[in-house]
Amino acid sequence: MIDDKTTNTVAAKSGRTANGRQIQDAVIRFAGNSQDGIQAIGGFLARLAGRTDKDVMTYMTIPATISGGPSIYQVRLATGEVLSAGDDVDILVAFYQHSYQDHIATLRDGGILLYDSDNVQPAPVEKRYRAVGVPITSRTVEAIGGTAKDKGKNMFVLGLIACMFDLDVPKLEGMLRAYYRAKGQDVIRNVLVAFNAGYSYNLGGAVETFAFAPEEGRAGRRQVVMDGNQAIAYGALAAGVRFGAAYPITPWSTVMEILRAELPKYGGIFVQAEDEIAAVAMACGASYAGHVALTGSSGPGLSLKSEAIGWAVMAEIPLVIVDVQRGGPATGLPTNVEQSDLNIARYGSHGDCPRIVIAPSSVEDCFYTTVEAVNLAREYSCPVILLSDQALATRFETWEMPDLKKYVQDISPSFEPRGPNYKPYANTPDGIAHHAAPGTPMLDGKYPVVTGLEHDEYGHPANAPITHVMMVAKRRRKLLVLDAKLPPPEMYGPPEGNVLLIGWGSTKGPLHEVVDAARAAGESVTTVHLRYLMPLQPGTKEIMNGFDHVFVVELNDEGLYGYGQLAGILRASFCDPKIRGINKTDGLPFKVREILAMMREKVKEAEQPVLV
């Protein structure tokens, strides 16, 4: 939030001296239509922040229409760690009347409304915020001229914001030139003309300028700015994945677009398959041939892949399946976030079908969990499902440049001869067995068949009762072995207290802010983050014992009995009736305020004396 201390700063880098109010944190929401290029404004601001030692997180909603429709892009820029995209906005930029009407309520008291006075007529100004009209459309048209119409008004707005926040203009200009280089000199000229028109627009003192306070320790740190899908794609490349296959679906598609373009450089192949089932089948084939493969989708695609996931469990084939979750069921909400695929990720398929499920908590974590997913699949010879979500997929975050040396690995198959008496499904004490890829000579001349039928240790079909009992136990045992090796879940806050909030996936950031806010208000609240969802991390049950109330915070429905999918799993696993849910299904990420309010309400409810 913009605080009220006014100090003088020098915008040395841009060669401009200004009186800027020093701030820690600013939330800016751009509201317009999807073809206005507001995502580009947000993208440039995010990248600039990453290059100037700031932390950033973005948030956007995109309409699921082919072209047009209202769209927003929110950027939170700060010095210090940013955990969520911000509950309320400090500055609302409204391009149209509907943008203004739909989003004015999100503007915090004392905030600033910047509106396009060519398109927006605000209601008589409320005292709670300041309204500043700028003829964005006409000034852009005037500046660029020609036939560009109002194209470029996003750049005009970027100029306005650059001026207000005293941003590093030379760096920003460099980024604009680089980004539009491929489009030719004319486009670059128009972009810079519009940007400069915005930058030099005289706000007439209606709005002061701001400057971000420098943060100790951050300067000089190398930062990366990426969205979650980029982090997954590059994580897969680092981990050595050289084959992928998928079918396009929102919000997964950008992962496959990147891999299709990048894999050939690494000697690999990505296939756009004819359907979701073919994609997972191709991935199974490549994995069988010795190259651990990746496929991915969103919920509807995961449903279609379920049969093959069961095959990979039965045949014990390593495989990574990324699910970028969106609102469901059916076509549902293609461009909104939900955490409602947990059950299908854990159980989807038929029969007893143990597999590994992990969920990244941030964009940075998308990179590391992808590497881990590949290695878990290889180590345990089973499918690993990575549960990302639409919010992670589409938001930009700054994170520390990873030490890539540590993660880059070559996982080419070995064709070392095996045997004699090689068993593809050896019933080992830990249940783990690694199959041989075709091309591997067998010393005793006996070659294995990999199969989806229940089989004996040699892969021969075998439906004897005792064989099925043994093999079901073997496949289960692998996960128990992993479970014993996992670290306990990460806790934020003291290990005992009144309220424990359990989260998974992208709710981690907001939950940390909730704990900070609640503790600042004198409430005893702790949060725990479950990174592994199958198997569950050891110690989860013991942690719950230290609290009076346990709430599982999830972006899914509270179900018939008042708790969501993870809560149901925890109840079934640990028989603890204290576990309840904090859920919502509006397709938007949790706000800190929402969680606080629901938590307080539920605690109050539970503490009401029961009258007889």
Partner 1 sequence: MISQAQEIKTADRPNYTKKELVADHPTWCPGCGDFSILSIYFKLMEKLQVPHEKITSVAGIGCSSRFPYFVNAYGVHFLHGRGVPFATGISLMRPDLHVFMFGGDGDAFSIGGNHLDHAARKNIRMTYVIMDNFVYGLTKKQTSPTSPIGFKSKTDLTGSIDQPVNPMKKLIAAGTTFVARTHSHLPNHVMEMMEKAMDHDGFSVVECLSECTEFYPGAFDSANPRKGGTFTLVPPYHDVTDEVAAYTLAMAPFPGYFGVFYETQRPTKNALEAGLIADAKAKTENASTLDLLQKTFDRFS
Q: Cβ of residue 396: shortest distance to partner 1, in angstroms?
A: 10
> Which tokens in the block code for residue 561?
């009995």
Q: Is 205 an interacting residue with respect to partner 1 (CB under 8 A)?
A: no
Q: Is 8 an interacting residue with respect to partner 1 (CB under 8 A)?
A: no
Q: Which of 354, 239, 338, 216 is nearest to 294 (CA)?
A: 239
**Segment interacting with partner 1, rule: CB under 8 A, options 137-145, 155-163, 374-382, 436-444:** 436-444
Q: Is 125 an interacting residue with respect to partner 1 (CB under 8 A)?
A: no
Q: Is 300 an interacting residue with respect to partner 1 (CB under 8 A)?
A: no
Peptide bond into 214 cis (omega under 30): no
Instruction: Quote the distance between the C-alpha of residue 30 and its chain's center.
Output: 21
Instruction: Quote the distance between the C-alpha of residue 166 and its chain's center.
Output: 30
> Which tokens in the block code for residue 317?
């084939």
Contact residue for partner 1 among 24, 137, 303, 451 (CB under 8 A)? 451
Residue-wise DSSP of 196-233: HHHHT---TTSS-EEEEPP-TTTTT--EEEEEHHHHHH
Q: Is 353 an interacting residue with respect to partner 1 (CB under 8 A)?
A: no
Q: Which of residues 312-341 bind partner 1 (CB under 8 A)?
A: 315
Q: Is 504 an interacting residue with respect to partner 1 (CB under 8 A)?
A: no
Residue 124: how many other CB atoms lie within 10 Å: 5
**Segment interacting with partner 1, rule: CB under 8 A, options 208-216, 327-335, 352-360, 396-404:** 396-404
Contact residue for partner 1 among 401, 464, 480, 521 (CB under 8 A)? 401
Taking each helix axis from N to C end, the angle separating 185-199 and 153-164, rounded to the nearest 10 degrees, works out to 40
**Segment interacting with partner 1, rule: CB under 8 A, options 117-125, 286-294, 549-557, 580-588:** 286-294
The CA dihedral of 560, 564, 566, 570, to the nearest 10 degrees, is: -50
**Rounded Cα distance, 271 and 293, in Å:** 11
CA atoms within 13 A on the CB side of 437: 18
**Segment interacting with partner 1, rule: CB under 8 A, options 54-62, 201-209, 336-344, 407-415:** 407-415
Contact residue for partner 1 among 10, 125, 404, 464 (CB under 8 A)? 404
Q: Cβ of residue 452: shortest distance to partner 1, in angstroms?
A: 6
Residue 456: how many other CB atoms lie within 10 Å: 15
The DSSP bridge partners found for residue 400 are 223
The separation between the first and the last C-alpha atoms of the chain, rounded to the nearest angstrom, is 48
E strand or H helix at 307, and its extent?
helix 299-315
**Rounded Cα distance, 339 and 587, in Å:** 9
Which of residues 91 and 245 has its CB atom nearest to partner 1 in the complex?
A: 245
Q: Please, what sign has the CA dihedral across residues 10, 14, 18, 24?
A: negative
One-letter amino acid identity for 208?
E
Q: Is 59 an interacting residue with respect to partner 1 (CB under 8 A)?
A: no
Longest dimension (CA), the chain: 88
Q: Cβ of residue 284: shortest distance to partner 1, in angstroms?
A: 6
> Which tokens in the block code for residue 41?
């404004």
Q: Cβ of residue 347: shortest distance to partner 1, in angstroms?
A: 19
Q: Is 583 an interacting residue with respect to partner 1 (CB under 8 A)?
A: no
Which of residues 310 and 535 has its CB atom nearest to partner 1 in the complex?
A: 310
Which of residues 273 and 528 has its CB atom nearest to partner 1 in the complex?
A: 273
**Segment interacting with partner 1, rule: CB under 8 A, options 32-40, 77-85, 279-287, 578-586:** 279-287
Q: Is 374 an interacting residue with respect to partner 1 (CB under 8 A)?
A: no
Contact residue for partner 1 among 284, 342, 530, 569 (CB under 8 A)? 284
Q: Cβ of residue 460: shortest distance to partner 1, in angstroms?
A: 7
Q: Cβ of residue 274: shortest distance to partner 1, in angstroms?
A: 4
Q: Cβ of residue 505: shortest distance to partner 1, in angstroms?
A: 23
Q: Cβ of residue 280: shortest distance to partner 1, in angstroms?
A: 8
Q: Is 266 an interacting residue with respect to partner 1 (CB under 8 A)?
A: yes
Which of residues 189 and 460 has its CB atom nearest to partner 1 in the complex?
A: 460
Phi/psi of residue 244, nearest 5 degrees: -145, 155
Q: CB of 326 within 8 A of CB of 332?
A: yes
E strand or H helix at 280, and its extent?
helix 276-288
**Rounded Cα distance, 595 and 601, in Å:** 10
Peptide bond into 589 cis (omega under 30): no
Q: Cβ of residue 344: shortest distance to partner 1, in angstroms?
A: 18
Q: Is 172 an interacting residue with respect to partner 1 (CB under 8 A)?
A: no
Which of residues 308 and 550 has its CB atom nearest to partner 1 in the complex?
A: 308
Which of residues 445 and 577 has its CB atom nearest to partner 1 in the complex?
A: 445
Contact residue for partner 1 among 247, 311, 425, 563 (CB under 8 A)? 311
Contact residue for partner 1 among 38, 45, 279, 530 (CB under 8 A)? 279
Q: Is 45 an interacting residue with respect to partner 1 (CB under 8 A)?
A: no
> Which tokens in the block code for residue 11?
């915008």
Q: Is 475 an interacting residue with respect to partner 1 (CB under 8 A)?
A: no
Which of residues 242 and 531 has its CB atom nearest to partner 1 in the complex?
A: 242
Q: Is 559 an interacting residue with respect to partner 1 (CB under 8 A)?
A: no
Q: Which of residues 211-250 bind partner 1 (CB under 8 A)?
A: 222-226, 230, 234, 237-238, 240, 242-243, 245
Instruction: Quote the distance between the C-alpha of residue 504 and its chain's center.
Output: 12
**Rounded Cα distance, 198 and 535, in Å:** 54
Q: Is 50 an interacting residue with respect to partner 1 (CB under 8 A)?
A: yes
Contact residue for partner 1 among 3, 126, 142, 274 (CB under 8 A)? 274
Contact residue for partner 1 among 252, 288, 380, 425 (CB under 8 A)? 288
Sheet with 294-297, side-by-side order of all strands: 269-272, 243-246, 294-297, 319-325, 383-389, 356-358, 532-534
Q: Is 485 an interacting residue with respect to partner 1 (CB under 8 A)?
A: no
Q: Is 308 an interacting residue with respect to partner 1 (CB under 8 A)?
A: yes
**Residues 6 or more apart whose Cβ sits within 8 Å of residue 568:** 343, 559, 561
The CA dihedral of 515, 518, 520, 524, to the nearest 10 degrees, is: -90
**Residues 6 or more apart whose Cβ sits within 8 Å of residue 548:** 497, 498, 499, 578
Please identify which residue in the block is written with the tokens 């897969």: 236
Binding site for partner 1 (CB under 8 A): 50-51, 222-226, 230, 234, 237-238, 240, 242-243, 245, 262, 264-269, 271, 273-275, 277-279, 281-291, 293, 307-308, 311, 315, 401-402, 404-405, 408, 410, 412, 438-442, 445-453, 460-461
